[in-house]
């Protein structure tokens, strides 16, 4: 299993001013950095690829859909814009030499919904992601569906729902991305959800229940690592915690969750490596 860190541990928006985070991630002994694609206008793929190659670090990317890119919208123009945005993110992922792009890419993040999603909303999501997945397949990119909690989406809250959407899409480069912070709210069992994702699991967010330092809260890490060991998980796992509020998506960080990003990473990574060793994954 490769261990990495989400760039939001240090910054609220990616740009060339944050390229040094690639060096910092490498110097802290990580295998990869997760780069947010929320603002593609400030994403310089050529500069990112060059820096990644210089320091010898891997990368994955992620994003969320907003109101004007919601592929479950009743407005066909918004759905079309959402698909084009997903394709642009896939292209950016490919352009930096990465193979995995994921996130809340199936419906608007924090959609102001007043009722449960309709079958039409599910179909819109599947249709949009199918088009994006076929484009991604040509570039050798996987797309990961990340279930998040009920306060952040009304569509995909659990691994079972993610697998349902994957089946509706019907493309083999659609994968599953689990996140322990959201699982803590929505799943009955970390172990069962991880086992269900199985061979389709391509990315894992290792978060404490408060998004603080892993190992300092309520998450059942033994169940998680027992499951990861049983499925022989060899893909990426990122520590994801946000150090501040942003103006491009809601992070709800109203207090200091760790002294700083470096401390979160060092202590969190030490804990994760101890769990890997405990379950024979090191």
- The string of DSSP codes covering 8-40 is GGT-SS-SGGGTHHHHHHHHTT-SEEEEE-S-G
Per the listing, tokens 């760039």 go with 7
Rounded CA-CA distance 116/118 in Å is 6
Higher-scoring residue by pLDDT: 278, 241: 278
Rounded CA-CA distance 63/14 in Å is 12
| Nearest CA among 43, 179, 162 for reference residue 107 | 162
For residue 255, the model assigns a pLDDT of: 80
**Helices and strands in the chain: count of H runs, count of E runs:** 9, 8
The reply to whether 50 belongs to the active site is: no
Which among 99, 131, 208, 240 is annotated as catalytic? 240
Q: Where would I find the H helices in 96-220?
A: 119-138, 159-169, 180-186, 190-197
- Averaged pLDDT for residues 81-89: 98
Q: What is the pLDDT of residues 135-185, one digit of tens each?
A: 999 999 999 999 999 999 999 999 999 999 999 999 999 999 999 999 999
| Residue 254 burial (C-beta neighbours within 10 Å; 0-12, 13-18, 19+) | exposed
Which among 34, 99, 146, 187 is annotated as catalytic? 146
The reply to whether 240 belongs to the active site is: yes
Q: What is the pLDDT of residues 110-133, one digit of tens each?
A: 999 999 999 999 999 999 999 999
Specify whether domain 2-278 bears CATH 3.30.70.890.
no
Q: Rounded to 5 degrees, what are φ and ψ at 257? A: -90, -15
């Amino acid at each position: 299993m490769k261990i990495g860190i989400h760039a939001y541990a240090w910054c609220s928006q990616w740009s060339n001013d944050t390229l040094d985070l690639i060096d910092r991630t490498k110097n802290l002994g990580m295998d990869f950095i997760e780069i947010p694609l929320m603002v593609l206008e400030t994403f310089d793929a050529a500069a990112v690829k060059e820096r990644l190659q210089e320091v010898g670090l891997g990368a994955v990317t992620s994003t969320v859909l907003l109101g004007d890119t919601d592929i479950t919208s009743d407005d066909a123009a918004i759905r079309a814009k959402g698909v084009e945005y997903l394709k642009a993110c896939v292209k950016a992922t490919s352009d930096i030499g990465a193979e995995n792009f994921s996130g809340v890419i199936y419906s608007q993040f924090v959609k102001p919904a007043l009722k449960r999603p309709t079958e039409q909303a599910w179909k819109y999501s599947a249709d949009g992601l199918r088009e994006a997945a076929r484009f991604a397949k040509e570039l050798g990119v996987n797309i990961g569906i990340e279930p998040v909690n009920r306060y952040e989406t009304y569509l995909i809250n659990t691994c079972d729902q993610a697998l349902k959407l994957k089946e509706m899409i019907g493309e083999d480069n659609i994968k599953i991305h689990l996140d322990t912070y959201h699982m803590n709210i929505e799943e009955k069992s970390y172990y069962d959800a991880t086992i269900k994702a199985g061979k389709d699991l391509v990315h894992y967010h290792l978060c404490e229940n408060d998004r603080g330092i892993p190992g300092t809260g309520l998450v059942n890490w033994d169940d998680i690592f027992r499951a990861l060991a049983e499925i022989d998980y060899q893909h990426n796992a990122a520590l994801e915690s946000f150090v501040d509020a942003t103006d491009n998506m809601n992070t709800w960080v109203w207090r200091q969750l760790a002294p700083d990003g470096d401390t979160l990473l060092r202590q969190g990574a030490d804990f994760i490596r101890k769990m890997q060793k405990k379950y024979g994954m090191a």
